[in-house]
Amino acid sequence: MEENNNNFEPRIIAFVCNWCTYAGADLTGTSRIKYASNVEIVRFPCTGRIDFMLLLKAFAGGSDGIIISGCHPSDCHYTSGNFHARRRWMVFRDMLDFMGIDIERIRWSWVSAAEGAKWADVVNDTVDKIRKMGPYTEYKKAAMFLEEEKICHD
């Protein structure tokens, strides 16, 4: 299993806000800081816009890990978007854990536009962690349920 995991390249989806983390990730690039290329960034106007369904869809679509990041509290471009988001995540995270969905695969972070180095750390950390955890097969299996059924019937 360990050997398999060493070859395994996790697929990470990052949902980030336009004003802080996206700019921060941009700074990482312009500062020539190298970080893991496993991450695919999806830009949102605000963390408040990140619907909880997007996380579930990311897992169903084959993502092994998720990064959610936005402006630090009190720094939101729209004043309160991240406060609303924070509340939603507090409730949602408990809900997912209760249903047995692996919340360790979701990394929440605040990365400001000036924290290019922090963004690289967040991504590298997450990729390392997910690489150790291996692919999120149990969720993918549930997502593939109908296709498997079809194969059985054929």
Q: Which residues bind another protein (CB under 8 A)?
A: 52-53, 56-57, 60, 73-74, 80, 83-84, 86-103, 107-110, 138-139, 142-143, 145-146
Q: How far is the CB of 80 from another protein (least distance, A)?
A: 6
Taking the complex as a whole, the smallest distance from the CB of residue 73 to another protein amounts, in Å, to 7
Return the ∠ at Cα 21 (arms to 5 and 38), rounded to 5°. 20
Q: Which is nearer to another protein, 32 or 107 (CB)?
A: 107
Q: Min. distance of Cβ 95 from another protein in angstroms?
A: 6
Nearer residue to another protein within complex by CB, 32 or 146: 146
Q: Tell me whether residue 30 or residue 146 sits nearer to another protein (CB atom).
A: 146
Q: CB under 8 Å to 7, separation ≥6 — which residues? A: none
Structure tokens at 128: 């390392």
Q: Write down the least CB distance from residue 91 to another protein, Å.
A: 5
Q: Cβ atoms within 10 A of the Cβ of 132, count?
A: 12
Contact 50, 66 (CB under 8 A): no
Distance, CA of 105 to CA of 95 (rounded, Å): 15
Which of 40/138 has CB closer to another protein?
138
What is the rounded distance in angstroms from the CA atom of residue 140 to the CA atom of residue 150? 16
